[in-house]
Amino acid sequence: MLSRYARRKLADVVVRSACVIATLIALVPLISVLYYVTVRGIGGINVEFFTELPKPVGESGGGMGNALVGTLKLVFLACAFGIPPGVLAGVYLAEFGESRFGRLVRFSADVMSGVPSITVGIFVYSLVVLQAKHFSAFAGGVALAVLMLPTVTRTTEELLKLVPESLREAALGLGVPKWRATLRVMLRTAAPGIATGVMLAVARVAGETAPLLFTAFSNPFWSSGLNEPTASLPMNIYNYAVSPYEEWHRQAWAAALVLLLLVLLLNISARLLVRSRVGAR
């Protein structure tokens, strides 16, 4: 019979090892994806890749400059359409969310975050593309924004709820009107966290392909403005990867690596935002 203490120690070792093993298992796919994409993609990366247009089949060289710009454009549009309503809806839920309407909005946001992205693509297709009668970066941006919306809304709400109520009381006690207390104290205090949440949402939609299929579509050339079909990295990866050409496969891997780095960059900057808050004097 083990002593109580020895039993506790044994349990500690067992549970702790189980946690470490589970963590390692979770890391396997992440590390392999990073490793594989880097190894396969690094060869295709050169200056041309970032600056040139794709070359026709058979010619070597060429790049995906248009797709890179296209993705940035789409992400920018998604932010412009998605973040303001998302944040404001989050504020609404945090402040007045206990009404019947508030609960309905929260429920809708939760349902919406589970809607498959291709469905959002079709929705925007019928709403925007069919009206305009052509694909466009604008439509792509709307689709990505719709995907971002529930995440941004719920993140904002959750983070606002984490701000201690005592700060609101402090502001109200100073004779500050409620709307100002909400914006300048509550939202301001939650801002770094909200920024992180928003960045993660942006990173998530930056790699979406399905909603772009019927909205931004694709374009082998530079697209000017927001009203034309636009190439994007995820779409190009898809098109190139399913093609039968070896050269295109190489380029698809390179595009995948670039997309990965882009998302990584967004993630890191999100984390830095949080750190700058902790380190603030």
Partner 1 sequence: MSVGSQSKISRPNHRRGSAGDDKSRWDEVSVSALVPKMRTEDLHAYFGQTEVLKGISLQIAEKQVTAVIGPSGCGKSTFVRCLNRMHEVVPGARATGQVLLDKQDIYQGDVDAVRVRRRVGMVFQKPNPFPTMSIRDNVLAGLRLNGERPDDPDAVVEKMLQRVALWDEVKDILGRAGTGLSGGQQQRLCIARSLALEPEVLLMDEPCSALDPIATARVEELIHELRKSYTIVIVTHNMQQAARVANFTAFFYLGKLIEHDRTDVIFTRPKEPRTEDYITGRFG
Give me the residues that bind partner 1 (CB under 8 A), please: 98, 164, 166-167, 169-177, 180-181, 184-185, 188-189, 191, 280-281
Q: CB 242: neighbour CB atoms within 10 A?
A: 10
Residue 139 burial (C-beta neighbours within 10 Å; 0-12, 13-18, 19+)? buried
Residue for token digits 């070359």?
55
Nearer to partner 1 by Cβ, of 72 and 176: the residue is 176
**The tokens of 152 are what?**
């941004």
Nearer to partner 1 by Cβ, of 61 and 177: the residue is 177
Taking alpha carbons only, the member of 86, 111, 70 closest to residue 206 is 70
Nearer to partner 1 by Cβ, of 195 and 203: the residue is 195
Nearer to partner 1 by Cβ, of 1 and 174: the residue is 174
CA angle 15-18-23, nearest 5°?
Answer: 130
Nearer to partner 1 by Cβ, of 12 and 169: the residue is 169
Nearer to partner 1 by Cβ, of 53 and 172: the residue is 172
Do 183 and 240 contact (CB within 8 A), yes or no? no
For residue 279, the minimal CB distance to partner 1 (Å) is 10
Nearer to partner 1 by Cβ, of 185 and 198: the residue is 185
For residue 106, the minimal CB distance to partner 1 (Å) is 17
Task: Find the Cα–Cα–Cα–Cα dihedral 80, 269, 213, 112, rounded to 10°.
Answer: -70
For residue 242, the minimal CB distance to partner 1 (Å) is 50
For residue 269, the minimal CB distance to partner 1 (Å) is 20
For residue 130, the minimal CB distance to partner 1 (Å) is 45
Non-local (6+) Cβ contacts of 134 within 8 A are: 227, 228, 229
For residue 186, the minimal CB distance to partner 1 (Å) is 10
For residue 181, the minimal CB distance to partner 1 (Å) is 7
For residue 98, the minimal CB distance to partner 1 (Å) is 8
Nearer to partner 1 by Cβ, of 39 and 170: the residue is 170
